[in-house]
Amino acid sequence: MLDKLYPNAPSEPLSPAVIGDMLRLLDLSVIGAVGLAVYFGYVYSDPPGLSAQYLVTVAIGVLAAGLIFQWLGVYAGDFLLAKGMRSHWMIVAFAITFAVLLTAAFALKISSFYSRIWLISWFIGSVGLLLLVRLFLSDWVQRQAAQNAFANRTVIVGVGEQGRRLLKHLEQVGAGRVRVLGMIDDIPGPDETAEPTASQPSGHLGGHLGGMDDLAQMIRQGGVDEVLIALPWDQEARVQAVVQRLATMPVHIRLALDLVGYHFIGRGLTHIGHLPMINILSRPISGWSQVHKSIEDRVLAFTFIALLALPMAAIALAIKFHSPGPVLFKQKRLGFNDTPFELWKFRTMHAHMADPDCLVQATRDDPRVTRLGRFLRRTSLDELPQLFNVLRGDMSIVGPRPHAASTKAQGYFFDDIVDSYAARHRVKPGITGWAQVNGWRGETDTVDKIQKRVEHDLYYIDNWSIWLDFLIIAKTILVLFRGEKAY
């Protein structure tokens, strides 16, 4: 039956898990072998004799490397098919391993017992050989993947809209890991029978392969690795019947998403009460990330205030003597979770012309802005009091810039222009942000400007890391005194 359906049926796929585990073992063997080779080639004969401390250190190094490689995710997911098999992460992980070993040696005051040449040679030799192994193995894996050698031979049960949607999706993104042999009709009928088309003739990969009896025979003959059930979830009896029919067969059986699930592809799954559920959105910067972000904000705010205390005092005096009115300008802005807060800035407008509701955005050569105010705005020094907003917990150093609720672009409120505008408020607003350092700073007077700003803000929220924050801070310092788009 298998030969009749598709004469050139693919052979059983190679197991990425097995090859991955073999690579793990090879990595650790390389590290251990290089350490011993350097020892026997350089240390063993001077002074002569076998030293247990070197052998123990090599063993500890191999064990530590295995743990740290695993911890940093060097072998996580589809690392075999990743570019270079994550060689950069492997180098970082091994460097951390060596740093841990050296730190332990210094702490125990035993570093002087080891040859520095041996340590350096062990590190460089291991990295070089590990990269060489990945160079050759990665080339072999990519050639095998191009021939679908790792792809599970997959059959879709269900030829309705859900099955066709799944087939189309897998054809677009499943290359290398999934090879769809065709589709099976679980209950032939006028509504569910898929007739072979010119592009997918019967008996070829991706076409209509028959009914459940045909699928059972294909599995018994060893031609199928995986079955994807693509039936509507509200038709429970049909799904159960397919599962019961295949339950005794040596094949992976998976229930594909219902049609609504295709709107949330790539979201991942969570098990709650042992039930799989799709992650639609997660609270950003939560858990330990929230703790790290909070510490970062407080430490940086205190540091900047300490360094800039005298310049801030000088600016306050200059404002007081330059024009009558308060030193600070206070304005209601929307912050985290759409909660209003009072944002502080140095006053840059004439007091009687200030616009606390931001009904009209400041423009180039705005007559409301004082001469000193133009300088403060151009250099962003007017934003410095927001460091105290950070200490109060209203803001972060880095985050989406907060807007006044009444601000408009081309006569429209921001949240009327961009549907996802409010998603910016899932994190605390910031003094500077990803949008600002990418050229979207200053007046947001057009629809395009607010769309681009929101786009950059949401990218920051989805990709936050401490390193991204420090990158933004560094870029902010570089563009701070250019004064572009700030008036």
Query: Which pLDDT tens digit goes with each residue over 367-378?
Result: 788 889 889 888
What mean pLDDT is predicted for residues 345-373?
A: 76
- The C-alpha atoms of residue 352 and residue 347 are separated, in whole angstroms, by 11
Q: What is the pLDDT of residue 257?
A: 84
Average pLDDT over residues 256-284: 80
Angstrom distance (rounded) from CA 159 to CA 193: 7
Cβ contacts of 236-245, under 8 Å, gap ≥ 24 = 238/186, 238/187, 241/186, 242/157, 242/186, 242/212, 245/212, 245/216
- CATH no. for 151-278: 3.40.50.720
The per-residue pLDDT for 191 is 44
Q: How far is CA 385 from CA 305, 330, 464, in A?
A: 9, 10, 24
Comparing 9 with 252, the larger pLDDT belongs to 252
**Mean pLDDT over each residue of the chain, to the nearest integer:** 82
Helix, strand, coil distribution of the chain in percent, nearest 5: 55, 15, 35
Between CA 328 and CA 320 the distance in angstroms is 10
- pLDDT grade for 199, boundaries at 50, 70 and 90: very low
pTM of the model: 0.60
466-479 helix and 288-322 helix, angle to the nearest 10 degrees: 20
Band of pLDDT at residue 266, cut at 50, 70 and 90: confident
Q: Comparing 2 with 140, which gets the higher pLDDT?
A: 140
Pairing of strands 178-185, 152-157: parallel
Residue boundaries of the structural domains of the chain? 16-146, 151-278, 288-479
d(CA 159, CA 164): 6
Res. 74: pLDDT tops 90: no
When mean pLDDT is compared across 229-243, 267-281, 318-332, 400-414, the lowest value belongs to 400-414
Q: Which residue has the higher pLDDT, 282 or 121?
A: 121
The structure tokens listed for 291 are 């703790």
Could you tell me which residue, 133 or 145, shows the higher pLDDT?
133
Comparing 51-60, 72-81, 163-172, 213-222, the range with the smallest average pLDDT is 72-81
pLDDT at 305 over 90: yes
- Alpha-carbon span 485 to 467, nearest angstrom: 26
Per-residue pLDDT, averaged over 48-70, amounts to 84
Evaluate if residue 183 carries a pLDDT over 70.
yes
Predicted local confidence at residue 363, as pLDDT: 63
Residue 287's pLDDT is 85
444-458 mean pLDDT: 82
Average pLDDT over residues 317-342: 90
Q: Which DSSP helix (H) or strand (E) runs through 1?
A: none
Type of residue at 122: W
The answer to whether 92 touches 72, Cβ cutoff 8 Å, is yes
| pLDDT reported for residue 299 | 94
Residue 171 has pLDDT above 80, yes or no: yes
426 neighbors 461 (Cβ within 8 angstroms): yes
In angstroms, what CA-CA distances link 22 with 15, 26, 69, 142?
11, 6, 14, 17
User: pLDDT value at position 1?
Assistant: 46
Tell me, rounded to whole angstroms, the distance of Cα 255 from its chain centroid: 26
In 243-391, DSSP assigns E strands to 252-255, 269-272, 275-278, 328-334, 340-346
468: number of Cβ within 10 Å: 14
Mean pLDDT, residues 237-261 taken together = 89
Lowest mean pLDDT among 16-20, 183-187, 398-402: 16-20
In this structure, are residues 230 and 168 in contact, taking their beta carbons and an 8 Å threshold?
no
pLDDT reported for residue 268: 77
Q: What percent of the chain clears pLDDT 70, i.e. is strictly above it? A: 83
| Burial class, 271, CB count within 10 angstroms (exposed 0-12 / middle 13-18 / buried 19+) | exposed
Whole-number percent of the chain with pLDDT over 90: 30
What pLDDT is recorded for position 444?
Answer: 64
Q: Which residue has the higher pLDDT, 332 or 206?
A: 332
Using CA atoms, how far apart are residues 16 and 22, in angstroms rounded to an integer? Answer: 10
**Above 90 in pLDDT, residue 315?**
yes
DSSP string over 182-238: EEEESS-STTT-----SSS-TTSTTEEEEEHHHHHHHHHTT--SEEEE---TT-HHH
Burial of 295 (C-beta count, 10 Å sphere; 0-12/13-18/19+) = exposed
Classify 255 as helix, strand or coil.
Answer: strand
Calculate mean pLDDT across residues 129-148.
84
Q: Which residue has the higher pLDDT, 114 or 394?
A: 394
pLDDT (average), residues 182-202: 57
Q: Do 376 and 487 contact (CB within 8 A), yes or no? A: no
Q: Is 98 helix (H, G, I), strand (E, B) or coil?
A: helix
